Chain A
Amino acid sequence: MNYFEDFSEGNSFLHRADPRVKILLTVLYTCIISVQNNLTISLLGIFLPFCLLFFTRIRFKSILKRFLIVYIFVGILWIVLPLSGKGDPIFYIGPVKIFKEGLEKALLITVKFSAILFFIVGFISTTTVTNLFHALSHLKFPPKLSHLALLTYRYIHVLFMEFGKLKNAIIVRGFKPRTNLHTYRTYAYLVGMLLVRSYNRAERVYRAMLCRGFEGKFYLLDHFYLKKSDIVLAISVSSYILFIIFFGFKYPVSF
């Protein structure tokens, strides 16, 4: 019954690292890389998470499929950005002018994007959604939001199954999608029914919570313990960031 491919189940050291540390490192890394204009730093920024990904033993085929979808947007940038820039174009593709500045921008964005993407896959994808929101609550993220997010996650699966049931109901009565009013109306009914069922389900869950003494306050069941390996990870990543910033300033790369 697992409709969503989960990379969070695994046993590498990244999987087992404390989610709070992983979240903080991700925020730090993302902030620092995203403001970079220095290509060296950005390139080195890909290197670390790329290596770490090998250690997580994630199935590369499935990751690549998802990456492909996301890199389409990057591809669009490569088509659009090189068409603009200052000064003279460095070469022509037929009648189209290609500018150096645009190419540089496109490359920089691709590199930074990849660095952040790989880092997030390595650090956030290796954490279960529940641990993620629990960690956020520990980091002073409002518990109400975390619980809302977790409840949403839990009930998306339920709604998925409800949708499946409704779909089966129309299929066994010979429904075939075509471009006609009957099809559109049926789909509209499906969506409407799903909304109604969701609302009813939400009310029933709320009642269940009331019956277990819920009076408006959310509590956390503590279960994160900082290990030595987590501190090592935090220090290593932070040192790497400092190192690449220093290195990048000393040896900036340009075309």
Chain B
Amino acid sequence: MSEYLIEIENLNFSYPSGPVVFKNASLKLQKGKKVGLIGPNGSGKSTLLYIIMGLIKPESGEIKIFGKARQTEKDFYEVRRRIGLLFQDSDDQLFSPTVLEDVAFGPLNLGKKPEEAKKIAVEVLDRLGLSGYKLKVPYRLSGGEKKLCALATVLAMEPEYFLFDEPTAELDEEHRARFASILKTFSSYLIVSHDRELIKSLTDQWFYVADGKIRHVEAIESLKI
């Protein structure tokens, strides 16, 4: 049993329009670590998250997640059930008529019965302090509320690992603090962010993405995030 949750080797990927994003890049992520992924805009950080979730297929490379090689769409079904991805834009993540249904969407897809899915959704919303939001319509919420509801939708699937794509980008100070305090209760995740303070306070292992490569970094003070 490999100690690594996610292993990527010899990753090659370019956008259809041309620019090379990854050239023989590699990355190994362990369970129980809080990882920060940093790098300049356009370096491919979000793309890497999508590759891990199988939303984008690389040109070449070995991807092993939970000890199994992942290549076809079917291989990634298990990945999506066990790893949660929080998108940068909450509007993309909240697509159901009410918050409750959005949060229940994940459990329903996992095979839970409607009653059970509803119970899980209510529990997760209560845990995040969003009890009053069950019947609210997602597109009428504020940025911070949307982000927390989006987090609830991911939490409801009880994933083993989390991927956060610029989680505090749309948040004001109050919601940023709230988000950070929720994150403190998680044990393993990967955060992509430009927020220096967030990275410093919530992560203890860092990777720098630039020029097609993913490099492990010892001290982030030296780098420009």
Is A182 on the interface with B (CB-CB < 8 A)? no
How long is the Cα–Cα vector from A205 to B138 in the complex, in angstroms? 14
How long is the Cα–Cα vector from A211 to B97 in the complex, in angstroms? 19
By beta carbon, the residue of chain B nearest A161 is: B139
With contacts A219-B114, A221-B101 taken as known, whether A208 is within 8 angstroms of B95 at the C-beta atoms is yes
Is A240 on the interface with B (CB-CB < 8 A)? no
Chain B contacts for A222, CB-based, 8 A: 114-115
Chain A contacts for B105, CB-based, 8 A: 209, 212, 214
With contacts A130-B98, A207-B55, A221-B114 taken as known, whether A157 is within 8 angstroms of B108 at the C-beta atoms is no
**Residues 139 to 156 of chain B near chain A (Cβ within 8 Å):** 139-140, 153-154
Quick one: which of A208, A209, A221 contacts B117, CB cutoff 8 A?
Answer: A221
**Residues 124 to 153 of chain A near chain B (Cβ within 8 Å):** 129-130, 150-151, 153
Is A210 on the interface with B (CB-CB < 8 A)? yes
- Which of B8-16, B25-33, B79-87 lies at the interface? B79-87
Contact B87 A204 (CB under 8 A): yes
How long is the Cα–Cα vector from A158 to B50 in the complex, in angstroms? 23
Chain A contacts for B117, CB-based, 8 A: 219, 221
With contacts A212-B106, A214-B109, A221-B108 taken as known, whether A204 is within 8 angstroms of B89 at the C-beta atoms is yes
With contacts A220-B114, A221-B117 taken as known, whether A215 is within 8 angstroms of B77 at the C-beta atoms is yes
Contact A157 B139 (CB under 8 A): yes
The minimal Cβ–Cβ distance linking B12 to chain A, given in whole angstroms, is: 21
The minimal Cβ–Cβ distance linking A218 to chain B, given in whole angstroms, is: 9
Instruction: Give the A interface residue count (CB, 8 A).
Output: 28
Is B110 on the interface with A (CB-CB < 8 A)? yes
Chain B contacts for A154, CB-based, 8 A: 95-97, 138-139
Main secondary structure of the interface of A (DSSP, over half): helix
Contact B80 A210 (CB under 8 A): yes
By beta carbon, the residue of chain B nearest A222 is: B114
Contact A150 B114 (CB under 8 A): no
Contact B153 A212 (CB under 8 A): yes
How long is the Cα–Cα vector from A155 to B138 in the complex, in angstroms? 11
By beta carbon, the residue of chain A nearest B87 is: A208
Residues of A within 8 A of B (CB): 1-2, 129-130, 150-151, 153-155, 157-158, 201, 204-205, 207-215, 217, 219-222
Residues of B within 8 A of A (CB): 50, 53-55, 77, 80-81, 84-85, 87, 89, 91-93, 95-98, 100-101, 104-106, 108-110, 114-115, 117-118, 138-140, 153-154, 157
> What would 8 A/B residue contacts be, using CB atoms closer than 8 Å?
A1-B139, A204-B87, A205-B92, A210-B55, A213-B77, A213-B106, A215-B109, A221-B118
